[in-house]
Amino acid sequence: MPTRTTCPYCGVGCGVLARADGPGTAEIAGHPAHPANFGRLCSKGAALGETLSLEGRLLYPSMDGARTSWDAALDRVAAGFADTIARHGPDSVALYVSGQLLTEDYYAANKLAKGFLGTANIDSNSRLCMASAVAAHRRAFGEDLVPGTYEDLELADLVVLVGSNLAWCHPVLHQRIAAARVLRPGMRVVVIDPRRTATCEGADLHLALAPGSDVALFNGLLGHLRREGKADTRFLQHLSGVDAALAHAIDTATAAASCGLPIGDVARFFGWFADTPCVVTVFSQGVNQSSAGTDKANAIINAHLLTGRIGTPGAGPFSVTGQPNAMGGREVGALSNMLAAHLDWDRPGDADLLRRYWAAPALAERPGLKAVDLFQAIGDGRVRAVWIMGTNPAVSLPDGDRVRRALAGCELVVVSDPVAESDTMDLAHVRLPALAWGEKDGTVTNSERVISRQRPFLPLPGEARANWWAIAQVARRLGHGSAFAWRGPADIFREHAALSGVGNGGQRVFDISALAGLSDAEYEAMPPIRWPCPAARPAQERLLGDGRFPMPDGRGRMVPTPLRGPAHAVSEDWPLALMTGRLRDQWHTMTRTGKAPRLFAHAPEPVVSLHPLDAGSIVEGGFAVVESAWGRGVFRARLDPGMRRGAVFVPMHWTDRFCRAARANAAVNPAADPVSGQPEFKHTPVCVRPWTPAWHGFALGRVPLGQDVAAWCAAVPAGAGLWRHELASEGPAEAAHAALVALHDGPGTWITLHDANRGVHRAALVRDGSLRACVFVGPDAGLPPRNWLLGLFAAESITLADRRALLAGRPFTGAAPEPSVCVCHGVGAGAIRRAIHAGCGDLERIGQATRAGTNCGSCRPEIAALLAAHRVAEPA
Ligand code: SF4
């Protein structure tokens, strides 16, 4: 029997069936009965089985680089925290946790920090993802509530996607919308995003607004709704702040001008919204990751409140979270400005209730530091000991180089993580081996409030242990053993569930007290369940549609959203706005997806996308330096007419391990939203200029060459035990060959061609008739087709003609390189174009001819784009 568990990646929270089928691998399928995905998985979820090997795992605790016992490591953590608190007070220590943690781990960490260390300096990397949505919910609803369900996306007649590349970042939700549109072709989709993303394929309207101008657009919508008499007078009785919010409504022409959009497009969107009662507005990081993120989210919510389109089938604002358990972290209060179970410092009696429930000796009396401020406090010595769990802030936080310096200077850095090496782990004094997906046991909550079990199906490796266990062990050493005497995650879940019902006569919607009495066996078997599920009241599917809000006055609040620009405006010196974001097939800092070679086939190197008219002398396929006042990165350049002029985009995933020169967040400004504390990842003023290296290179071998081999080195696994390197540098071109030779020291014959005049160097190692390694260096990016070379490695032996072709640097067959579109079946753009030319006129027929898009479906928007491009080039 496969194990029923949950995908560990995005906030969709898909159900997964997993069955271990050998060391480090597992059979993976979508769970047909899970309400999030009904059997679907995206490319990342489908490749989970390829990410489970123990290669690169941290299996034993270590201190100062030397292996140690758990006892010794935990003694050091407890003593270090106790000593720091004794000398400098409770706010001199901190925990930095993660939306990757299970709810039980999260609960334990929050309880330790806020209840027993006496500090609210516990924040989560969810701060980077959806803190603005949380703040907006609390301002408008009185509590952090997502009113709707995924079903609403299928029931809506209009789906508005704001700052959300749903096709790449929440692919299964995108697939659900696409399937609903097939059944109801009248359903419309509007995408609001400065970039033309894969989500725009098939959309009815794309509004490529200026970065940061969302508030103006939705204030304009508010004005239009009022003028058109679309305010719901019945629902307005349940609201406060209506006039104050409407005072910021603007006319359509002003909104269009503020957003840099054609007025006709804006008017069309406003008209559709006004005339469509069933409208869902999905918003995500493009809205949240802004110094005005909370106002942006409230501007969206205002439009729904004014029209009463909230909490009813097919209607409502819908924040989708980036991480698998961002919601769980919110439920247990693991953000520095929240208390557990949606209790609130600002609500009289709540802190006291929690103090008594936990029997906490030192409940934190006020909110703590939010992520950006927390790392600034580490940097300036206010925080002297930090415990980081399941996240990689040296890569993921803005102003990344400053974060590294802060951690490097911190007196005590403890890192709990499954991986042995990461940019953050490298800075740790104490390393604690944590469990990975497939080993963890607990619960997660997805974006539609559904709590699902993550169940283990793999043996625990080495001495890796659950985070909640390590936290409880430290608490015991600090003298709080009885408050942390859990036998397992079920005990923690019951405590968490019971707390949600304590003193809760309906004031707090988050109430899962009906689950507080689960036996161990019932917890183990628990099916996905949506909250609220109170013990004393009926459960609710959707929230707020009845006009009851968990506010002191019982009313929802329309929040005034004045226009304001980004924290740092573009200028003559920094003329472009940098946005960072996700790729389709990668997750965060690639510690897991980086183990699945096929997930690199779609984007094997870090790329900056910019509009051709902003490129100056930067050429397609060349290199570009993206530099801000805070830092810089170097990326392969892609000239993309789908980018809005003035905006550039880089993916956030690349690390020291995969491409040291291309850590996007090193250049991101540390400005944050004053309400939510969420950093402004979507607007950093930068300049972009060409970088012309002395040589370009490409190398394939069975070991990574290391980042020192060239100034720019993107090294990724390429399958069959190979590492693929894209290289460029100003130093000696022979370095790459020398490194490859050193790493492949052994039998075999190197065949080489060296043409100093042209700056060309080609070398291949042949052993027992088959290709073992190769390196190509040239003065420009015109290097051999990568897929051809990878194909030669796959062959049992290479022919004489192949050897000649290797030295010639090109296949004699004329094969051309082509980007991989469908990573499940390894189908490139060329094969899809050929199928289209052969008469395959829709996705289904292309799928039948090539298999592209027939597994996870994540690539279907890109196939649709190829189809659309063909139709434009060759109209019927
Ligand atoms: Fe995982 Fe993909 Fe589902 Fe997100 S959409 S939970 S990444 S399978």
The closest alpha carbon to 45, from 37, 53, 35, belongs to: 37
**In 3-state terms, what secondary structure has residue 405?**
helix
What is the spatial order of strands in the sheet that 188-192 belongs to? 205-207, 188-192, 158-162, 279-283, 316-319
Cβ atoms within 10 A of the Cβ of 79, count? 14
The closest alpha carbon to 319, from 110, 162, 542, belongs to: 162
- Distance from Cα 44 to the centre of ligand 1, integer Å: 7
pLDDT of 103? 98
For a mutational test of ligand 1's pocket, the pick from 5, 14, 169, 859, i.e. the residue with the most ligand atoms closer than 8 A to its C-beta, is 14
Block means of pLDDT (10 residues each) for the chain, 876 residues, are 96 97 89 97 94 95 98 98 98 96 98 98 95 97 98 98 96 96 97 95 96 96 98 98 98 98 98 98 96 98 98 98 89 95 95 97 96 98 98 95 97 97 96 97 97 97 98 98 98 98 95 98 98 89 97 97 95 97 87 87 93 96 97 97 95 92 94 97 97 94 92 93 93 83 87 90 93 93 86 88 89 60 83 89 89 84 85 68
Q: Identify whether the C-beta of residue 408 lies closer than 8 Å to the C-beta of residue 490.
A: no
Show Cβ contacts of residue 716 under 8 Å, excluding neighbours closer than 6 positions.
594, 597, 600, 604, 605, 658, 723, 724
Using CA positions, which residue lies closest to atom 2 of ligand 1? 42
Helix axes 371-379, 400-408, angle to 10 degrees: 50
Q: Is residue 45 lining ligand 1, measured as CB closer than 6 Å?
A: yes
Show Cβ contacts of residue 822 under 8 Å, excluding neighbours closer than 6 positions.
832, 850, 851, 852, 853, 855, 859, 863
Separation between Cα atoms, residue 430 and residue 71, nearest integer Å: 12
- Distance from Cα 830 to the centre of ligand 1, integer Å: 27
pLDDT of 88? 98
Q: Is residue 167 lining ligand 1, measured as CB closer than 6 Å?
A: no
pLDDT of 816? 45
Cβ atoms within 10 A of the Cβ of 689, count? 13
Q: Is residue 10 lining ligand 1, measured as CB closer than 6 Å?
A: yes
pLDDT of 137? 98
Separation between Cα atoms, residue 387 and residue 374, nearest integer Å: 12
Q: Is residue 437 lining ligand 1, measured as CB closer than 6 Å?
A: no
The closest alpha carbon to 80, from 384, 374, 375, 378, belongs to: 384
- Distance from Cα 323 to the centre of ligand 1, integer Å: 10
Separation between Cα atoms, residue 114 and residue 853, nearest integer Å: 48
Q: Is residue 471 lining ligand 1, measured as CB closer than 6 Å?
A: no
The pair of three-digit structure tokens given for residue 528, joined into one six-digit string: 């996905």
Q: Is residue 13 lining ligand 1, measured as CB closer than 6 Å?
A: yes
Distance of CA 371 to the CA centre of its chain: 16
pLDDT of 858? 79
What is the spatial order of strands in the sheet that 25-30 belongs to? 3-6, 15-22, 25-30
- Distance from Cα 8 to the centre of ligand 1, integer Å: 8
* Residue in this structure with the two tokens 């400004």, named with its chain if needed: 669
Q: Is residue 166 lining ligand 1, measured as CB closer than 6 Å?
A: no
Question: What single string gives the DSSP state of each residue in 100-125?
Answer: TS-HHHHHHHHIIIIIII----EEEG
Strand partners, 820: 828
**In 3-state terms, what secondary structure has residue 722?**
strand
Count Cβ neighbours within 10 Å for each residue of 825-842 and write b for 16 or more, e otherwise.
bebbbebbbebbeeebee
**In 3-state terms, what secondary structure has residue 851?**
coil
CA angle in degrees (0–180, nearest 5) for 194-323-115: 125
pLDDT in tens, 446-489: 999 999 999 999 999 999 999 999 999 999 999 999 999 999 99
Helix (H) or strand (E) holding 489: helix 489-501
Helix (H) or strand (E) holding 355: helix 350-358
Count Cβ neighbours within 10 Å for each residue of 599-610 and write b for 16 or more, e otherwise.
bbbbbbbbbbbb
pLDDT of 817? 47
**In 3-state terms, what secondary structure has residue 294?**
helix
Q: Is residue 761 lining ligand 1, measured as CB closer than 6 Å?
A: no
Per-residue 3-state assignment (H helix, E strand, C coil) for 667-714: CCCCCECCCCCCECCCCEEEEEEEECCCEEEEEEECCCCCHHHCCEEE
Q: Which atom of ligand 1 is nearest to the CA of 10?
A: 4
Q: Identify whether the C-beta of residue 73 lies closer than 8 Å to the C-beta of residue 374.
A: no
C-alpha to C-alpha distances, 260 to 212, 252, 269, 621, nearest whole angstrom: 11, 12, 15, 29
The closest alpha carbon to 762, from 777, 782, 772, belongs to: 777
Q: Is residue 46 lining ligand 1, measured as CB closer than 6 Å?
A: no
Q: Identify whether the C-beta of residue 751 lies closer than 8 Å to the C-beta of residue 745.
A: no
Backbone angles phi, psi at 818, to 5 degrees: -145, 140
The pair of three-digit structure tokens given for residue 569, joined into one six-digit string: 């405006």
- Distance from Cα 168 to the centre of ligand 1, integer Å: 10
Separation between Cα atoms, residue 701 and residue 714, nearest integer Å: 13
pLDDT of 813? 61
Question: What single string gives the DSSP state of each residue in 205-270?
Answer: EEE-PPTT-HHHHHHHHHHHHHHTT---HHHHTTEE-HHHHHTT---HHHHHHHHT--HHHHHHHH
* Residue in this structure with the two tokens 């628990």, named with its chain if needed: 526
- Distance from Cα 215 to the centre of ligand 1, integer Å: 29
